[in-house]
Amino acid sequence: MAWLHTWAGLLLGWVLFAIFATGTLTVFDSEIDYWMQPELHGAEAPPTAETLELAQRALRRTAGNAREWSIQLPGARRPVARIAWRTPDDAYHVRYLDPATGTLLTARATDGGGHFEDFHAQLHAGDPGMWLVSAVAVALLAILVSGVIIHRRIFKDFFTFQPGNRLQRAWLDGHAVTAVLALPFYLMIVYTGLVAEQDELMPLTALYAGGPSESREDEPRALGTSAPLAPLPALVAKAEREWGAGMVRFLRVTHPGDAAATITLYRANDDRLVDDSDSVTFDGVTGETLHAVTIDRPARRVQSSMEGLHYAEFGGAALRWLYFVCGLAGAVMIAAGLVLFTVKRQKPNTREAPQARRFYALAEKINVVAIAGVLLACIAYFWANRLLPAAMADRAWWEITAFFLVWFAALPHALLRPARRAWIEQLGIAAALCLLLPALNAATTDTHLLHTLPRGDWRIAGVDLTAIGIGLVLAWTARKVAGRPQTRSTALEHPA
Amino acid sequence: MADVAARTGAAVFGGYVLAAAFALALTGILPLSAPEAAITGALPSFAVHTAAVLWAFATGDAMRAWAGLLLPAALCGAIAWLGA
């Protein structure tokens, strides 16, 4: 068990840290989305009915011949209505509603927090990436359980005096403390992550039981005769009498302006664990209720609740912060475990083959790339968002490319520099980029801390302040690494 | 090294086959509607896969690792086949 924990932990830890770090950032995906589109800052949405009227008017004007409209109403996390439509040639357009003028705003193209989510769930590699992340997730469950099994010995070690071994002790304690304190969270978050993908991961069960569980309804076809669309505010008010005020957050209109138009409203899920959206569909001309969908099958509700546990939409800001802190603890646990592997093997052991020593030296460098390099890439993504021209072609793609370029550049850097210098430099640059992010924000937008703090605009200020907080932790870590006593691994890199 | 590779293969592929067969067997015997049984069958399968990984590395040798996964998988497959 100790063998499995050590080696699976090392090899998979190199991927796991990145998955944990990006997953932790995904907790605040909407906040990151909003921060990354400063064109939308400052526009406070009017009441829902007024927003809907403005949106309907703007869509009729701009997208009168579209096959489909959708309206994402403003919520607490993103105060701007998002408007999208699909034209007959299947092109998809996204704009934002300016509540002051009723016109449509174009914001810079960005994947925002979605980039972290995509990397976290599938490494930006589609289905193969999803399978790889899932395999790593099962392995992490096994690593966690094997860690619990060997923990008995660790507990005994806790009270064993080991002179001259304080560094290793500190890393072991850091690894064990972060592991034990949030162990239920890790088991929960990994298992629910697998459950969220279970239809793809276990496709045979649905086939065996008789076809996929939910059949997609056929889109109604356009009739070709025009008819005015029913006013949206009245339908939303009707649905909200059932669901509660403010619970309609998303609307979809098919064939607007056609006699066969339909309007579907979706219920928000941020007041409950279940992650399935109830919906109600109206005739788009008469406003008559066509059908309502509520998923009340118990097994599906269990699965959906587990998905809700993973996505953490149900408990407001306090719960998101709890997830964020637990996610950070998980990242620290993985990082401390990786560092522990190399620290443990720094003492000379004459029985060891030279290949083993070379592997340990290489492992320390990969650790740098897998931990400090990932952090560097994440903060570089925020910088790319502010530095790339707002109207650049393929802009969202370039932001993600910046993330990967910085990460890949961390590898040759770590290989060329002595391991300790590589740690200090990559952690130091990441810390500097974090600490300077508010300054970059101030240089490129009007919604920086000097404006957002006095206004109490925590949605935007939260991103800048969190960057400062993480920057301070990284700077402290870099200083600790710089100040630690010279170890044998550095001596090994410069053989006499 | 060959032993580690064979155990890893058992943990990854043997473990998945067992987990999938377990999900099918459970789907087959649960007295639920088809979509409900399919969801309930797949829910615990990841715990089965986790246990399979631990078994693959804890047991005596690689042969036992594979046999200990494929035999119960065959049993689950038979249950699923009978339950269909």
- What is the arithmetic mean of pLDDT over A137-155? 87
- Decide if pLDDT at A491 tops 50: no
Q: Assign residue A255 a region: left if phi > 0, alpha if psi is -120 to 50, beta otherwise?
A: left
Least confident range from A213-222, A274-283, B6-15, B39-48: namely: A213-222
Distance (Å, whole) CA A154 – CA A175? 11
The answer to whether residue B76 neighbours chain A at the CB level (below 8 Å) is no
Chain A contact for B29 (CB, 8 A cutoff): no
Q: Report the pLDDT averaged over residues A156-176.
A: 73
Lowest average pLDDT, out of A111-120, A209-218, A289-298, B13-22, goes to A209-218
CA distance A344 to A351: 15
Dist CA A452 CA A455 (whole Å) = 5
Tokens representing A313 are 């939409």
Q: Do B42 and A198 touch (CB under 8 A)?
A: yes
Measured between beta carbons, which residues in chain A are less than 8 angstroms from residue B19? 202
Complete edge-to-edge strand list for the sheet that includes strand A248-254: A104-105, A92-97, A82-86, A68-72, A248-254, A262-267, A279-283, A289-293
Tell me, yes or no, if A191 comes closer than 8 A to chain B by beta carbon. Answer: yes
For chain A, positions 131-170, list CB contacts with chain B under 8 A. 135, 138-139, 141-142, 145-146
Q: CB–CB of A205 and B12 under 8 A?
A: no
Q: Which of residues 349-408 of A touch B (CB under 8 A)?
A: none
> B53 and A138 in contact by Cβ < 8 A?
yes
Q: Residue A393: CB partners within 8 Å, gap ≥ 6?
A: none
The minimal CB distance from A142 to the residues B32, B45, B50 is found for B50
pLDDT at A490: 46
Mean pLDDT of chain B: 94
Contacts of B82 in chain A (CB under 8 A): none
> Model-level pTM?
0.92
Tell me the ipTM for this assembly.
0.96
State the CB neighbour count (10 A cutoff) for residue A116.
23
Residues B42, A141: C-beta atoms closer than 8 Å: no
Q: Give the chain B residue whose CA is nearest to the CA of A200.
A: B42
The answer to whether B27 faces chain A, any CB pair under 8 Å, is: yes
